[in-house]
Structures are given as structure tokens and as C-alpha cells.
DNA sequence: ATGAAAGCGCTAACAT
DNA sequence: ATGTTAGCGCTTTCAT
């Protein structure tokens, strides 16, 4: 038989109100002795209050939904970890959902989270999403957008990365090192991230008076396979390039691999620059020069922002945090 | 104003009972018309039933806790993903918790999960845990153990990997290839996983009539840093070895790196064998030969087992699933 | 085929 | 300093 607050109350010879107050640290006006007595019984009986019952009346679940494309993509674990750490500090739990960049799955998950009365959602949306949600029930729950930008109702904050600046820094560095024919193996341009990186790339070329060549920019996905394919495409086009700027590290790593297979030495024949600085970036050969994104911090900040919104429901806020990248120079350039 | 079942009922001109029945597909004896009418109103009003209120009476939350050391460790994302996929299929959500192998954090999380009335827990315990839980409240909730073995109350199933066999297969392969001085850079032996791998290593040596040398076995942690250190130790001891069997891929990858820095070529001077087959194993140079663990499947099976237990509370089961490993031969051996 | 009513375990406004 | 009471939104038993 599950033990309830009522049991504790009668066992202690007090009312449930008194027990409840003690449980919730609203015990300003509870006598020391009562407090002690009740606490003792609670411990004895190993009583655990039901959060479900509590949520029923407080309308809060202390649960945050984390909706991301795929935890298996090396970009996300750190982000998830950051969010979880902050949530945990503040007494929240994280419910995690993988959408595979699928719009239907996204909506399904959001619905689930609303049904389960998650207090809020941290959301990295699908690269296929071009508009807001069909489901209006969504608007009942605050959302923090992370990494990928967009505007629609319900968004109470954003944590983004300065992709333009990161890309600009990286490509400028390449240019300074006298690489002049820089191919850009991009991820999809449906996302602001890709778009901004492309802009940074163009801007850097311009500032160094290098002409932009459309042929050198090819667009694919943020996946390892795309790196292999992309090099094939570039080679088949018979293009001349002395450096490759990759949309992310996953692409960069497979590009390096492919290039080596083709007998190119890196960075002598071709320099390779990545984006992200994933866990493995300094373990490959040659160690990857890349633009580090603060993934852990992103997750952490997003949770912080969300909790802030949740615990100050009066203040209408919509903060936008833009985190900086860092150029990590290693051996591949 | 949040819309409730009551609103739907009065709007449809029926009782809440009727609405509830329709919501839960217990509508055998609800007329077609009523059903249709109610469903229409529900859609119109964008009504989402509160799972919290439902849980209150059904005593089920359709939530599963996933307690792991660290999602940031490349071993876990796939496992987590497997669990999430299965959970999702069955209409469950996953609450995820990182313990950093810390016993206090473990107990804290377990408590949280009990408070939140998670229906069950999938649990990869800390490598520091040597006994069951202090907290008896835990016994109220079924647990599936994953990857790391142990016995205590509340355990309703296990999904493990045949570490002995995996290790045996890998080391035998090395031996067959005529590597005879095989160092073993192990993870901790507090875990059955490490212990079993050591046993497999010993058994293989024995079967190939190679004498076991205590000096060649060094024990550390499942972390990249340990790979670097371990090679230092081996070198300082001035030991002769022609192959290294690593406790996991993380160690193997840093071992390869270190060895290359020392001017050794792989696999000519030294062969390297890993364990896990993480995402990056075939992207490093040389591609890593390793013993693949079915991580995704482990997570998936664990969720399956748990859901089975949850949905058949009458049957007393305690299944133990032992998954097989696979030797993936690449270029490092 | 449908509804009335009790109750899940807790909190909070209001008394005392 | 402590207790009474009314709900939170749903499911379920039992009537009708």
C-alpha cells in the first residue's frame, strides 16, 4: 500500500496542511517540535510525496522537454548534457525527444509534451521547418529555440551562435594563410546556420579581394556521407581548390579521409577547416582545425533562459543570446 | 483558460464519462453520432487531455527514466536513442539523467523518478556501485539493468553484452595473426564488463598457449586520457609488445594517436584493437579494428523488456538478455 | 447507450 | 501555530 500525505498526517497527529507546509518549506509558522515529529515519521515511513498529485494543483510539473533531431549526431550530446545539468540544478527533469528532422514527429512530440504538461520546451527544430506550428495547443507552453533560428508564436527566448562571425573568422584565417581557392562544402541552406556561414564565407572572400566562385560552393547535408560525395563532385568538376571549408566537423572528417585516399596530403595539398569542434576533432589525423561552437553552454543557457521564464511568469521576456565561436587552430590547415 | 473534459462534455451535451470513454477508446457502447459529435468538438476546441490528471487516477505516467553515467560519452547516445525509439513506439516518454558515475547523484535521480512516478527505470549503474540501494522507496518501481550487471531487489530484467566472448574473439584474432605480446589496457575492474573482458583475454592466451604476463595488463578508466597515460606506463616499463587490446574505442583511439606520435606505425609495429565500435571508429587513421557492441539494440531491448513488464504486471518475469558482439576487422590490426 | 458521483493525493485560501 | 475545506481534471463503478 502506497503511503500518502494523509497517512503521515494521522500518524503524526496533525493535519495534512501542516505536513504539506513542512514538505514545501513553508514552515515559518510551524513549531519546531511538530516539524521534527513529522519529519521523523516521514523518514520512518519512507514517504515520497507524489509529484503528480502536486502538479495537479500547482499546474507545474518541473519537467522540461528537449526536442532535438538526433542525440546520435555528435553535435547534440553536449548540448543535451548542458541542458540537463542546468535543469537538474534547478530541480527540473528533462524529457528527451528525437525528431529525425521529421516535421510530423516534431508535432507529435510537442503534443505529447503539452499533454504531459511539460512546463516548457527547449527546441532545435527540423531543418525542414519553414513555418510555425499547425497545432495551436503549442502556444500554451513556452519555447526556447536553440541553435536554429526562426520566428513564431510561443517563442520566449533563443540561444544561437554567431555563425556568420565564426565562418568569417575561419575563412579569413585560411585566406591569411594564403589559401585562395577555398571550396565550401555546406550543409542545407534552409537553416539560418548554413545561410549565415555562407554569408561569412562570402564576406571574408570579399574583404580579401578574392572573387567568389559559385562552383566552389556545394550544398548537401550535415552528414558524414556528404563529405565523401562532395569531394567526388568537386573532383569530377575538375575544379582547382587548395582548401575546403566544411559545414561541420562530420563532413570535414570524411573529407579528410577521402582526400587522403586520393593521395592528397593535408594540409600541404589541401587544407581542411571544420565547424563545431566535436569530441573527436583532435583525435583524427591530422588534427582538425575548426570553429568551435559552445554546445554545452548552449544547452545550459537555454535551460537557464527557460527556467527564468518559468519562474518569472509576470515579466514578459524574449531574450536572444548569441554565443561566440572560437577558431581552434590545429594541424589540418 | 485551459479547456477541460468538462468543457467538452457540456459543449457536446454529454457527460464527462462519455467523453472519457471516447478519449480512451472504450467506446464499444457509445453511439456513432455521439462519438462523432464529441470528436468534432474536441478538434474544434483543440482540446488536449491532461496526462497528469489521468495519471492521478490510473497510477501510470507512461514515463520511463533512463539513468546513465554520461550522454557525452560516445557509448551512450545510441543506447539512449534505441531506448527512446522503442519507448516512443509504445507511447512512452523518456526522462534522461546523467549520473557521472556518482552514487549520490544516482540515488537522487532515482528518488526524483519515484516522486515523479516514472513507471520504470532503465539503468546503467555507476562503476562505483558495489551494492544495492539504500533507499527502499526504489523497490516500488521496476528496473531494467543495462550493460553493467549486478543483483538486487527491484530488478526486473537485464540486457547485457557477452563481453567474455567478444574479448575472446578479438584477442584470438590477434593471436591468429601472430601477434603474441598483447598488452591489455583495461577499464576498471569494478564492473563486470571489464572483468569479463579480462577473462576473455586470458582464456584466448591460454588456448593459444601464450603465457599470461601480469605486466602487460594495466587498469585505468574508460576515458581518452587513459590511453595516453597507459602507453607512457607501458613504455616506461620498457615492455615489449606488438599489439594493444584496449578496453574501449576511446582508449584505442588515443592509443593510436600516442603511438603514432612515438613514431610507431600501425599495424606494422603495433596492432591496436578496440571495443565498442563507436561512430568514429572507421573515420580515424588507420581505421580501427574493434569488437562491436550492439548499443542501439541494447537500449531498444531494454525498453522493450521494461514495457513488457509494465504492461503485464501479473506475470513475474526477470528476463536476462545477452547480446552478441561482432568483430569488425579494419586496418589497425 | 449514457450519466452521477466518488475519489486519486496534494495545495492553498481562509478560519480559528 | 494549526486545521477545514474546496478543488485540480480525470477515470471508474454502478445506476439507469
* Distance to chain A for B275, nearest Cα, Å: 16
- Could you give phi then psi for residue A68, rounded to 5 degrees? -130, 165
Look at residue A29 and tell me whether its pLDDT is greater than 90: no
Report, in ranges, which bases of strand C sit under 7 Å from a protein C-beta.
1-5, 7-13
Look at residue A296 and tell me whether its pLDDT is greater than 90: yes
Facing B48 at nearest CB: one of A96, A114, A284: A114
Provide the β-strand partners of residue B125. none
What is the C-alpha to C-alpha distance for residues B160 and B164, in angstroms, rounded to an integer? 11
**Lookup: nucleotide whose C1' is closest to B58 CA:** D11
Look at residue B204 and tell me whether its pLDDT is greater than 80: yes
pLDDT tens readout for residues B98-144: 999 999 999 889 888 988 999 999 999 888 887 777 665 566 789 99
pLDDT tens readout for residues A47-68: 989 999 999 999 999 999 999 9
Supply the pLDDT for residue A137.
57
Supply the pLDDT for residue B137.
57
pLDDT tens readout for residues B231-245: 999 999 988 899 999
Determine how many CB atoms are found less than 10 A away from the CB of residue B46: 13
CB of A182 closer than 8 Å to CB of A245 = yes
The C-alpha cell at B256 is: 593510436
What do you get for the CA distance between the two ends of chain B, in Å? 66
What is the C-alpha to C-alpha distance for residues A122 and A125, in angstroms, rounded to an integer? 10
| Of the listed ranges A78-87, A127-136, B323-332, the one predicted with least confidence | A127-136
SS3 A37: helix
Q: How far is the CA of B17 from the C1' of D15 (A)?
A: 13
SS3 B90: coil
Portion of chain A with pLDDT greater than 90, in percent: 72
Contact A112 B93 (CB under 8 A): yes
Please check whether strand C approaches the CB of A6 to within 7 Å: yes
Find the helix or strand (DSSP H, E) in which A297 lies: helix A295-311
CB of B61 closer than 8 Å to CB of B93 = no
Residue carrying the nine cell digits 502536486: A54
Q: How many CB pairs under 8 A join A and B?
A: 131
Report residue A284's pLDDT band, with 50, 70 and 90 as the boundaries.
Answer: confident
Look at residue B184 and tell me whether its pLDDT is greater than 90: yes
Report residue B291's pLDDT band, with 50, 70 and 90 as the boundaries.
Answer: very high
Supply the pLDDT for residue A2.
79
Report residue B59's pLDDT band, with 50, 70 and 90 as the boundaries.
Answer: very high
Tell me which residue of B198, B207, B295, B190 sits closest to B246, measured CA to CA.
B198
Residues 6+ apart with CB under 8 A from B243: B174, B179, B181, B182, B183, B270, B271, B272, B273, B333
pLDDT tens readout for residues A81-101: 999 999 999 999 999 999 999
* Distance to chain B for A174, nearest Cα, Å: 24
Look at residue A312 and tell me whether its pLDDT is greater than 90: no
CB of B299 closer than 8 Å to CB of B83 = yes
The C-alpha cell at A212 is: 567568389
Q: How far is CA A37 from the centre of its chain?
A: 46
What is the C-alpha to C-alpha distance for residues A173 and A175, in angstroms, rounded to an integer? 5
CA dihedral A215, A216, A219, A224 (to 10 degrees): 140
What is the C-alpha to C-alpha distance for residues B310 and B317, in angstroms, rounded to an integer? 11
Supply the pLDDT for residue A318.
84
Provide the β-strand partners of residue B326. B292
- For the segment B60-69, the average pLDDT, to the nearest whole number, is 96
- For the segment A242-246, the average pLDDT, to the nearest whole number, is 96
Amino acid at each position: 500500500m502506497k503511503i500518502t500525505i494523509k497517512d503521515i498526517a494521522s500518524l503524526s497527529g496533525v493535519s495534512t496542511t501542516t505536513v504539506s507546509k513542512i514538505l514545501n518549506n513553508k514552515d515559518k509558522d510551524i513549531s519546531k517540535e511538530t516539524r521534527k515529529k513529522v519529519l521523523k515519521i516521514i523518514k520512518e515511513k519512507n514517504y515520497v510525496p507524489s509529484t503528480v498529485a502536486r502538479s495537479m494543483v500547482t499546474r507545474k510539473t518541473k519537467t522540461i522537454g528537449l526536442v532535438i533531431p538526433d542525440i546520435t549526431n555528435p553535435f547534440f550530446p553536449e548540448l543535451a548534457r548542458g541542458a540537463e545539468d542546468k535543469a537538474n540544478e534547478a530541480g527540473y527533469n528533462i524529457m528527451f525527444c528525437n525528431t529525425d528532422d521529421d516535421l510530423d514527429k516534431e508535432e507529435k512530440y510537442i503534443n505529447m509534451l503539452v499533454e504531459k504538461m511539460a512546463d516548457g520546451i527547449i527546441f532545435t527544430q527540423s531543418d525542414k521547418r519553414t513555418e510555425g506550428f499547425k497545432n495551436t495547443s503549442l502556444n500554451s507552453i513556452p519555447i526556447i529555440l536553440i541553435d536554429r533560428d526562426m520566428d513564431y508564436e510561443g517563442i520566449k527566448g533563443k540561444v544561437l551562435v554567431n555563425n556568420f562571425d565564426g565562418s568569417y573568422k575561419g575563412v579569413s584565417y585560411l585566406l591569411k594563410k594564403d589559401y585562395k581557392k577555398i571550396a565550401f562544402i555546406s550543409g542545407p541552406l534552409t537553416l539560418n546556420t548554413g545561410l549565415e556561414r555562407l554569408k561569412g564565407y562570402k564576406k571574408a572572400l570579399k574583404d580579401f579581394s578574392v572573387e567568389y566562385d559559385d562552383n566552389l560552393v556545394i550544398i548537401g547535408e550535415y552528414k558524414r556521407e556528404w563529405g565523401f560525395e562532395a569531394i567526388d563532385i568537386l573532383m569530377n568538376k575538375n575544379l582547382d581548390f587548395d582548401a575546403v571549408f566544411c559545414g561541420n566537423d562530420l563532413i570535414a572528417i570524411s573529407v579528410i579521409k577521402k582526400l587522403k585516399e586520393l593521395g592528397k596530403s593535408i594540409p600541404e595539398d589541401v587544407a581542411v577547416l571544420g565547424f563545431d569542434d566535436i569530441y573527436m576533432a583532435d583525435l583524427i589525423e591530422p588534427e582538425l582545425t575548426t570553429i568551435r561552437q559552445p554546445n554545452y553552454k548552449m544547452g545550459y543557457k537555454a535551460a537557464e533562459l527557460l527556467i527564468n521564464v518559468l519562474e518569472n511568469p509576470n515579466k514578459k521576456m524574449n531574450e536572444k543570446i548569441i554565443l561566440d565561436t572560437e577558431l581552434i587552430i590545429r594541424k589540418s590547415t
